[in-house]
Structure 1
Amino acid sequence: MTAPSFTGTKFINNIDVYYEHFPHASSTETVVLLHGFLSSTFSFRQLVPLLCKDFNVISVDLPPFGKSGKTTGFTYSYRNMAATVTSLLESLGITSYTLIGHSMGGQIALNVLYHFPKSAGKAVLLCSSGYSKRAAVPLVVSSYLPFFHHYVKYHFAKTGVRKNLQQVVHDHSLIDDEMEQGYLAPFLENRIFKALTNMIRHREGDLPPEALKRIHEPCLLIWGDHDRVVPLEIGKRLSQDLPNSELTVLKETGHLVPEEKPEAVYSSIKRFIGRKSLGTANGSQ
């Protein structure tokens, strides 16, 4: 794992946001990594060393995950998290960048492009969530019960880290103790479960087709053909609704593409960022 040249925490939108910065000696291109649900900067550990060859890299722990704040006073909606990311980058003096979002991070990247146009020049969506509705009303109402966060913690403990990893990784031989401990670490303190309760309450639905069709920044979609969390059909649908996009499909790959196929993901990103304009053909690797 490549050590960041700088790590920091900034107080943005009333919450502490942790980030890791890997500056490049000469590149003028910056990529910003946004992880998925129940994850952290750790999920990009295989991809970051490759991206560092060509780009300035910033990896962000989205609240309430990783080392970022877990306050119950923050609004954990996608739009507010998108606003938090853009404000963090502004505070760091970064005005030109490509967003790389995995799963939930992909949906937040799309929210950045939609709600804060011209903030990012391009986006790479790695098995991005899409078309999900807001949580059902009974679940949202239940989240206001005083002890609901204990249920959230119980549900997480019942499924377990290994079982969750087996759901997101196609090749189970990749799952080792380091991976398990890395994904478990953020959940060893109880505060996160109250914050997750608020996320259930605050999370709006994913951007609808009419919003996606208004996003004109170039988007590269990278999907695993064995994704059981966000099936490939979602990627195909997003590639139709995003007017300036293309879809690359990685064979024998599950949902956690930055862990499973970092070299292929890196190659696609490098080619995409270096291109002046997008083609229309989809590809498989």
Structure 2
Amino acid sequence: MDTIQIKGINLHYEFYHLDNEKPVLVLLHGFLSSSFSFRRLIPILSKNYTILSVDLPPFGKSEKSIRFTYSYSNIASVVSELIRSFHFTKINLVGHSMGGQICLYMAKQEPALVDKLVLLCSSGYMKRMPKSLIYSSYLPYFHFIVKKKLAKQGVLHNLRNVVHNHELIDQEMIDGYTEPFLDNRIFMGLTRMIRHREGDLSSEELKQIKHPVLLIWGEQDRVVPISVGRRLHQDLPHSTFVSIKNTGHLVPEECPEKVATYIKNFI
């Protein structure tokens, strides 16, 4: 685990490297999450791949800056710069939920840097926030409203929404997903993300992505329904779609062995 400053922000990452001959996988987590969400997937994949898992700002242990621009395009460029700092010339991207959308932005911005993409219940077709909410985010102390809303939902409620089998939810999981929110600066970062997030790539933009893409979906996903995955499959010209039964949105936690097998076969 380490931290590096990229484009003025301290970026936290985990690096698992044993062999220069192993293909590189860059793991990008979802909204309100961190590299913690890959804790069951990384031990399996690190046997066959070099793994770089990134805490996307303002999440996880990365800096929660009040000066950073939290647009998808800027976050994607920061991750690309981190990859170049390792002198990697060709990498494979694995993105969960929001992280999947960041992967797509990277493929669009830096097509020569990316070999293949694996999208795990990726977000898709989300528009920019309403103008009324964007304007409201400039009100003094708006970040307290963000904090209050998230606190009202609670980590346990969110986990029950993203995990199909609630028996998987234990104290370790609850603590791991709670920890980043003990730093109040994350709510300032989320407020800025409300202003800066430009929305997901359009169908027209997706159709221009020529990389091979593997879409993996939980059939009981209540956050990003499987219909979104099928639509992405239609718009991404070189994509393969697979679904997993009795699985919700948090596929890296719920069925890491199956996900790892699909990734190995694809890469």
Separation in structure 1 between the aligned mates of residue 263 and residue 255 of structure 2, nearest angstrom: 12
Q: C-alpha deviations, 1:228-283, integer Å up to 9, x for none? A: 0000000000000000001010000000000001000000000000xxxxxxxxxx
Separation in structure 2 between the aligned mates of residue 116 and residue 145 of structure 1, nearest angstrom: 36
Tell me if the contact between 1:27 and 1:54 (Cα under 8 Å) persists in the aligned partners.
no
Equivalent of 1:247 in 218, 224, 241 = 241
Q: C-alpha deviations, 1:33-80, integer Å up to 9, x for none? A: 000000000000000000011000110000000110111111000000
Does residue 92 of structure 1 match 2:86? yes
Deviation at 1:25, TM superposition (A): 3.0
- TM-score by structure 1 length? 0.93
Separation in structure 2 between the aligned mates of residue 95 and residue 26 of structure 1, nearest angstrom: 12
Equivalent of 2:125 in 131, 141, 157 = 131
Deviation at 1:26, TM superposition (A): 5.5
Equivalent of 1:79 in 32, 50, 73 = 73
Tell me if the contact between 2:90 and 2:112 (Cα under 8 Å) persists in the aligned partners.
no
- 1:75-224 equivalent positions in 2, closer than 5 A: 75-224=69-218
1:121 alignment partner, SS class: strand
Q: Structure 1 stretch 200-209 or stretch 25-34: which is displaced more? A: 25-34
Separation in structure 2 between the aligned mates of residue 266 and residue 237 of structure 1, nearest angstrom: 23
Q: C-alpha deviations, 1:133-191, integer Å up to 9, x for none? A: 00011100000001100000001110000000000000000000000000000000111
Separation in structure 1 between the aligned mates of residue 23 and residue 113 of structure 2, nearest angstrom: 14
Aligned residues: 267
Q: RMSD of aligned C-alpha atoms?
A: 0.7
Q: Tell me the equivalent position of 2:231.
A: 237
Does residue 12 of structure 1 match 2:12? no
Separation in structure 2 between the aligned mates of residue 216 and residue 156 of structure 1, nearest angstrom: 38
Does residue 29 of structure 1 match 2:23? yes
Read off the aligned partner of 1:55 and give its amino acid letter: Y
Tell me if the contact between 1:17 and 1:60 (Cα under 8 Å) persists in the aligned partners.
yes
Separation in structure 2 between the aligned mates of residue 74 and residue 26 of structure 1, nearest angstrom: 33
Tell me if the contact between 2:22 and 2:48 (Cα under 8 Å) persists in the aligned partners.
no
Q: C-alpha deviations, 1:94-133, integer Å up to 9, x for none? A: 2211000000000000000012211110100000000000
Does residue 58 of structure 1 match 2:52? yes
Structure 2: give runs of 5+ residues left out of the alignment: none
Residue identity over aligned pairs, in percent, reads 56
Separation in structure 2 between the aligned mates of residue 228 and residue 36 of structure 1, nearest angstrom: 15
Deviation at 1:27, TM superposition (A): 3.5
Separation in structure 2 between the aligned mates of residue 91 and residue 110 of structure 1, nearest angstrom: 20
Equivalent of 1:269 in 240, 263, 267 = 263
Q: Tell me the equivalent position of 1:47.
A: 41
Separation in structure 2 between the aligned mates of residue 237 and residue 24 of structure 1, nearest angstrom: 37
Tell me if the contact between 1:170 and 1:255 (Cα under 8 Å) persists in the aligned partners.
yes
Tell me if the contact between 1:99 and 1:123 (Cα under 8 Å) persists in the aligned partners.
yes
Separation in structure 2 between the aligned mates of residue 72 and residue 189 of structure 1, nearest angstrom: 13
Separation in structure 2 between the aligned mates of residue 69 and residue 34 of structure 1, nearest angstrom: 16
Deviation at 1:28, TM superposition (A): 2.7
- TM-score by structure 2 length? 0.99
Separation in structure 1 between the aligned mates of residue 165 and residue 257 of structure 2, nearest angstrom: 16
Separation in structure 2 between the aligned mates of residue 26 and residue 131 of structure 1, nearest angstrom: 37
Deviation at 1:24, TM superposition (A): 2.4
